[in-house]
Amino acid sequence: MAAPADVSKLSVILGRALIAVILFGVVSRTAAAQTDEIQVYTGEILAPGAASLTFHSNYSARGLTIAAFPGGVVPDHSVNGAFEWAYGVSEWFEAGLYFPVYTITRDGKMLVDGAKLRALFVVPRAETRSFFYGVNFEYSRNSRHWDPSRYGGEIRPIVGVRSAGWDFIVNPIFDTSFDGLSNLDFAPSARVAYNLSREWALAAEQYADFGPLRHPHARDGQEQKIFAVADYSAPLLDVESGIGFGLTKASDKVVLKLILAHTF
């Protein structure tokens, strides 16, 4: 059991991380919506020849009670997630497949939301560098209840700094329905983490959605969530869990996330 001084130190660390991410969110004036993956990309990839399976699950404990579009999924008390299959192609390239992307609705109905292909490119040995960068590309085919656009994509730059046990990472994400550059949706995310050991880390994460570049959503229509997160890494299983709180009217008020990953 941790000593009182250790608990106090951890509380201060997490509190500072939360403040840093909240300040980032206020400056960026954020935003709205469900997703199969609540995760900040850290630049780490699989070793060449290695494969992994990651299970994503997000529960809207207090979510919006109206779907984002006619025929869409109602967020409140729904579970959204995906099975993510990945393979390390080289020291700078990782390929991935999300299938199935799924939803369990608040009345217990199981839905398949679609599938996604992923290509992640990073600077070699990003996990050991003090400054690192990369970019992730995704292409998705969506069910009508998940997204009114049958096809979608994501461009996710990754920029980060590691120093004295701290990680500071930003993913300035752009989503697209392939309907023009001016309609790109800006949905940045950020992570501030403190690594307690090789196995444990505490983090604060921020997720936002401004809306289309051409016509950003008004303040009340934007989404902003702040998550408190704990990470545990072990030889057989990596676990990331967190609780998030919505800060705008367009955000789910309480969201729980769980990510389980196993490398073969």
pLDDT in tens, 57-93: 999 999 999 999 999 999 999 999 999 999 999 999 9
Query: Quick one: how far is CA 8 from the chain centroid?
Result: 28
- Walk me through the domains of the chain, giving residue ranges and CATH numbers: 4-263 (2.40.160.40)
DSSP 108: S
For residues 251 and 85, what is the distance between their CA atoms, to the nearest angstrom?
29
Band of pLDDT at residue 238, cut at 50, 70 and 90:
very high
Q: What pLDDT does 188 receive?
A: 97
Residue 229 clears pLDDT 90, i.e. is over it: yes
For the chain, how far is it from start to end, CA to CA, in angstroms? 32
Mean pLDDT of the chain: 90
**Least confident segment among 3-17, 145-159, 192-206:** 3-17
Q: How far is CA 20 from CA 154, 190, 228, 252, 264, in A?
A: 26, 10, 12, 21, 36
Band of pLDDT at residue 12, cut at 50, 70 and 90:
low
DSSP one-letter string for 158-209: EEEEEETTEEEEEE--EEE-SS-GGG-EE--EEEEEEE-SSSEEEEEEEEEE
Residue 30 clears pLDDT 50, i.e. is over it: no
pLDDT tens digits for range 98-129: 999 999 999 999 999 999 999 999 999 999 99
Residue 226 clears pLDDT 70, i.e. is over it: yes
